[in-house]
Amino acid sequence: MTSRHRQLLFVCTGNICRSPMAEYLLRHHLGPKTSWQVQSAGLTAVNGLTASQPAIDVLGELGVDLTPHRSCHVTKEQIDPATLIMVMTASHALELKQRFPEAKDRIHLLKSFDPSARGGDIQDPIGCEIRIYRRIRDEIDAALLDLILHMKRFS
């Protein structure tokens, strides 16, 4: 696999809060010259929805524009080429491994690379106050730093 073909897929439930925040934050950290293609999808997503307004707002606070995002339901066409598949909860991992057993070794909890987080879940902020979205954003952002270190192994 050449560096031009490295793909990372974030997966959550509806693909309107956690996984798009992770996708856009990671793209922001990696910059435009990255060799990684970063996408997101949802296990029960309805195709074509915008990100939730609070998710857009809290990423905007960091200078990251989430408005272009449109939700999509996770597909085999996304799973098969993915170098890494990052999920938000243990139940997401279990469901993905059941749907796509051939990808089980590439499915990881987002927080699994942070030794202090011990692979914990990132809770769904949908319907919560903006302060919860900020906490989830910051939790995702902190986990991305350890993920980026792991991604360097594929260089």
Q: Is 106 a catalytic residue?
A: no
| Orientation of helix 53-60 relative to helix 18-30, angle to 10° | 20
> Quick check: helix, strand or coil at residue 4?
helix
Amino acid, res. 62: L
- Whether the CB-CB separation of 45 and 25 falls below 8 Å is answered with no
Active-site residue identified among 6, 17, 18, 114: 18
DSSP run (H or E) holding 58: helix 53-60
Q: Is 146 a catalytic residue?
A: no
Active-site residue identified among 57, 106, 121, 124: 124
Q: Is 18 a catalytic residue?
A: yes
Residues labelled as active-site residues: 12, 18, 124
